[in-house]
Chain A
Amino acid sequence: MNVVVCVKQIPDPAAPQALDPDTKTLVREGKLILDDSDSYGVEMGLQLAEQAGGGEVTLVSMAPHGETSGLRTALAMGAARAILVSDEALKGSDALSTAKVLAKAIERANPDLVLAATEATDGYTGTTPVQVAELLGMPSITFAKKVSVADGTVHVERQTEAGYDEVEAPLPAVVTVTAGVVEPRYPSFKGIMAAKSKPIDQLTVADLGLDASQVGFAGARQQVVDVAAAEERKAGEIVPDEGDGAQRIVAFLEQLKLI
């Protein structure tokens, strides 16, 4: 079984983030890392391919400046290869344009199953995987907390408001996984060394047969017009616990008439 895992390489969320003052989009000029949310999809893909007794995990990513650091992390976990779409024309792409690019790239790997995170940590739009499914003409099951494959069918426990649903769809299909669906492995030293020589197929917008006017700032039909500081909360009372912490909270709750 061949699995494609969509992975995003993002600015380190732990580092200070900045917006470009002109375009008001996230600055992605520094080193990018594998979005933590994607490590679950990578692990899930590896496990499903192993259980199926064969097949490979191909990573598909779109990133500026031919960035590969995040891809190397996922390759070190065990993915076989990667397709990276990198093109100056992609800067400023909205979710739908991104989905068009990813769909074209995914088609090249001819997968049985496409995995993605429910949303990326940086932009958190959360619609791209379903847009990809629609563009590829595949069924999609989002918010998976458990995934298995048997007899050409993917079986998913899908998070719901009330609990979870058992949902299935025939392959090929797109599935988005929540964090915690599996425990991602740490890349081994051997894996890290092996990742250095794994193939990364780097493509441009033209390679995918897409028109540059459909993507990037040229193709985006939405824009951020303003960014302003949010209303600040009034500074609170921050006190060290000197054995009276619980009593202070009780007094606070009393004042709100909650106890």
Chain B
Amino acid sequence: MSIDKVWVLAESAGGAPISTTLELLTEARSLGGTVEAVTWGADGAATAPVLGEYGAVTVYDVGDLGNALPGAPVAGAIAELIRSGNRPDVILVPTTYDGRDIAGRLSAKLDLPVITNVVGLTVEGDEVRSQHAIFGGAQVATARFTGDRPWIFVVRAKSFAAEPAGGGAPQVTQIPVPDLGATNTATVLARHVEEREGPKLDEAEVVVSGGRGLGSAEHYALIEELAKLLNGAAGASRAIVDAGWVPYSHQVGQTGKTVKPTVYIACGISGATQHLVGMKGAKNIIAINKDQDAPIFSVADLGIVGDVHKVLPALIEAIKARS
């Protein structure tokens, strides 16, 4: 049985597809068959022309969800569409807060398993195989589904490059949300946008991250200052997020963001496997750590074995002196 139809959960934000949506549409084209997209939210369908450009020929739009949290209603609408006989072979889901909710709900509704943390996909005959970075990215595992389709893959950001295919405007079809009872009662009361200066963490060309080696929460200001000077974003290891020094949204690693900047500067980060898996894909890695045996040095292009409290201020001064 060949791959005839691939669906992409086309998450959007502010009327534009998120970058992972475009990455998944690009990859979907290479799996073979027809590419279709599912959108949701008040302005989800407005992204249809862009989705078409990246290869979607049909867009199924769940529409405005009001104040409902998307996981249950979007999964409910998709499950209903599949039960009506419209069955894709593969569903690609972005690794986002809502994407994971939708995938989990859909998996249980369809009684089909889900494979998450995908960083690559290959077609082997009639099968799709997924690649996963394990043990801090030291090894790559390849997995496959052995049961019924659709095969649901939840894919990490930046696993594929996004390239438009020059497709025309897709046909947009509305799909209804069935009555889901108690499962669809999570309601958003208010949305808070935390203003962040500079580029987004997962899109920045330069990422400066801090870890436990900074010693205390106050010293994170040095990370932010250096990031700003380099027009980059400030990241963090899980250790200092757990310690409450910085919000979770700064976290780089297995449980946080995957970043692939031109340069990643790790300051006072030892390089636990949990962290390495999120930043090992950077083109260049600079590490500052006082422990010469820290695992971070095994992936560093330039490693400075020294005191982050001396090197960082000196670095900030040196860059300031140039401008």
Contact = CB atoms under 8 A, between A and B. Distances in A.
Contacts of A141: 69, 186
Given A130-B105, A159-B248, A221 B145 contact: yes
A131 interface: yes
A211 to B, nearest CB: 13
B17 to A, nearest CB: 13
Given A256-B263, A258-B230, A239 B69 contact: no
Contact of B248 (A139, A178, A222, A241): A178
A94 B186 contact: no
Given A140-B101, A230-B138, A159 B255 contact: no
B7 interface: no
Contacts of A179: 238, 241-242, 248, 255
A134 B286 contact: no
SS class, residues of chain B in contact with chain A: mixed
B55 to A, nearest CB: 24
B206 A258 contact: yes
A139 B188 CA distance: 13
Contacts of B3: none
A248 B141 contact: no
Contacts, number: 272
Interface string B205-221: 11000000000000000
B207 to A, nearest CB: 12
A151 interface: no
B192 A165 contact: yes
Interface stretch (B27-35, B46-54, B167-175, B306-314): B306-314
Interface string B299-323: 1111111110011001101110010
Given A179-B238, A225-B142, A241-B305, A163 B185 contact: no
Interface of B: 13, 18, 69, 71-72, 75, 96-97, 100-101, 103-105, 107-109, 111-117, 129, 133-135, 137-148, 154, 181-194, 205-206, 230, 238, 241-244, 247-249, 254-255, 262-263, 265, 273-274, 280, 284-286, 288, 292, 297-307, 310-311, 314-315, 317-319, 322
Identify the 9 closest CB pairs spanning chains A and B, nearest first: A241-B306, A130-B104, A221-B147, A134-B108, A246-B314, A163-B194, A238-B303, A127-B104, A245-B304
Interface of A: 13, 17, 24, 37, 94-97, 99, 118-119, 121, 124-131, 133-135, 137-143, 145, 158-170, 173, 178-180, 183, 220-230, 233-234, 236-241, 245-250, 252-253, 256, 258-259
